[in-house]
Amino acid sequence: MRPGVRLGVDVGSVRVGVAKCDPGGILATPLETVKSGKGDVDRLVRLAAEYEAIEVVVGLPTSLSGREGPAAQAARRFAARLADRLPPEAVRLHDERLTTVTAESGLRAGGVHGQARRKVVDQAAAAVLLQAALDAERLTGNPPGEIVRGSS
């Protein structure tokens, strides 16, 4: 397991959920929700610098069959914009199937409902995504997902 903080990013059309892990890469925790649109990539670049993240794991929403639809293409475009602003090989795409469902379920079980849940579900989904990526790396010894190259 490579040491270092990583950020997890759950890209949505309205909000971008962000999570981070500890320097040992053991536990992912929700960090914040960023409004999608102007300034979202700027905020993630600042967070990556603030936490000295070694990489950013962006969720790739595929269908249960593994097909990529419009949401996956949007996530790929977002990841490429982020990769343009971070060091080479610092952005990875990782399968995020069912992360929001898992996050919603966990929040509901924890007694978080309605408006309060909507405010944090994207962060929680990012934490589920990042934890899955950390667990995959710990299991295989290889960095998770696919490297995203910027357009430049």
- The 10s digit of each residue's pLDDT in 86-135 is 999 999 999 886 555 565 666 666 676 666 556 677 898 899 999 999 99
109/27 Cα distance (integer angstroms): 20
Which has the closest alpha carbon to 78: 115, 126, 29, 114?
126
Cβ atoms of 35 and 82 within 8 Å: the answer is no
The secondary structure of residue 76, as a DSSP letter, is H
The predicted structure's pLDDT at residue 117: 54
Could you give the 3-state DSSP secondary structure of residue 98?
coil
- Position 35 pLDDT exceeds 90: yes
79/90 Cα distance (integer angstroms): 10
The upper half-sphere exposure of residue 131, i.e. CA atoms within 13 Å in the direction of its Cβ, equals 13
- Position 5 pLDDT exceeds 60: yes
The predicted structure's pLDDT at residue 4: 97
Instruction: Give the chain's domains with CATH numbers.
Output: 6-141 (3.30.420.140)
The pTM of this model reads 0.87
The secondary structure of residue 125, as a DSSP letter, is H
